[in-house]
Amino acid sequence: MRAVLLIFSTCLLFFLSVWLLRDNIRRWILPNRVIVQAQGNVDAEQVKIYWTAETADDTLTIFSGARQTDAIFEAGGFNIFLLYYQNQQVAQFEQFKQSVTAPHTYTFHLWQEGDSIYTNLKIYGPDANL
């Protein structure tokens, strides 16, 4: 009887922990990703990307120093990406997301022609074409 009680309590604790941590587990398995492709004279170290949304209270830095930060950025509705190069805003992109939990990959492409910086954003995920 003690063995059954021990197994039952262990299983109960395990499933309770999984249920309480379900959002963290989902973010770990299916995160939003940011990729920056710098071409030519553009230096990815000089790129910063900020994120905010119509439902967010703050603006988060999601890409800096040539890598994605650990910031968790997910919200339904309009998501706004502010792209900075050498501390100057060069682009702003908006995406409408129906699902908060659906993961997306955001690929920002930057290149330079003359004195101008050109940008492009390709979104991969369920809300890519909205």
Residue-wise pLDDT for 113-127, tens only, equals 998 999 999 999 988
User: What is the CATH number assigned to the segment(s) 32-124?
Assistant: 2.60.40
Rounded to whole angstroms, the Cα distance separating 106 from 32 reads: 8
Q: Which of 19-33, 35-49, 87-101, 112-126 has the lowest mean pLDDT?
A: 19-33
Distances (CA, A) of 14 to 3, 17, 24, 25, 82: 16, 5, 15, 13, 41
Rounded to whole angstroms, the Cα distance separating 38 from 66 reads: 10
Residue 45 has pLDDT above 80, yes or no: yes
Reading the block at residue 66, the tokens are: 């040539």
Given this model, what pLDDT does residue 95 score?
Answer: 92
pTM of the model: 0.82
Residue 110's pLDDT band (cuts 50, 70, 90): very high
Residue 130 has pLDDT above 70, yes or no: no
The residue ranges of every structural domain in the chain are 1-30, 32-124
